Amino acid sequence: MTEELNIRQGVLKDIPELVRLYEETVEHLESHVNYPGWKKGVYPGEAAAEEGVKTGTLYVAEAGGRIIGSIILNEKQEAAYSEASWSVDAAPGEVMVIHTFLVHPDFRRSGAGKLLMDFAEVQALKEGKKTIRLDVYEKNEPAVRLYERQGYHYTATVDLGLGSRGLPWFKLYEKTAGECLYGLLSRISPLSSEAMELAALTWSHVAK
């Protein structure tokens, strides 16, 4: 694509466009392969967009003035997260959780998805989080591949209580602040691998 991609915090006037983004994305999924098991009018919808905007936790990806993707970054962990053996011992306020991450089907290969995920990692570092966590429906193979390419580690498979919607099991993934920092340094810095590893390790110790 030729338009420049931009990430910014969502605002109230974005809600109608976010709802259209959600609806068009779900319509596409329902007419093809509905990997995340989302349902139009159920989730995601206006309530998710409004809560994310009002709490300042929803961010949008824009191209040519159009919202083509979004992500919610907050501290809300489902109860089943407590069943996992996470690699980092962190208090609730020290964890960033990724929710409602999507890119419009017309822009699937635009790089917007990776940009949003990279943004989440930078935001986690800025907020001093120790780790990032997320859940993904076990059969959502495209999302699983993306998260694993981004360096997220599988932790556990849990029941999030959505079996009645046909979504019985979700995989939990995690990426530590040190790993996020290492990845960021590797993209923007000519430092040696040893120096980057030391910086990431130092960050991990500080976070603990």
Structure tokens at 165: 């919607």
- Residue type at 138? E
- Tens of pLDDT, residue by residue over 145-156, are 999 999 999 999
- Its domain, for residue 86, covers 5-207
Number of domains, the chain: 1
Q: Whole-angstrom Cα distance, residue 4 to residue 182?
A: 26
Q: How far is CA 10 from CA 66, 87, 93, 127, in A?
A: 12, 31, 22, 18
Q: Mind listing the pLDDT tens digit for each residue in 32-56?
A: 999 999 999 899 999 999 999 999 9
**CATH number of the domain enclosing 115:** 3.40.630.30
Determine if the peptide bond prior to 16 is cis (ω within 30°).
Answer: no
**Model confidence band, residue 109 (pLDDT cutoffs 50, 70, 90):** confident
Beta strands in the chain (DSSP E): 5-9, 58-63, 66-74, 95-103, 131-137, 153-158, 170-176
Secondary structure letter of residue 208 according to DSSP: -
What is the residue whose two structure tokens read 């999507």?
102
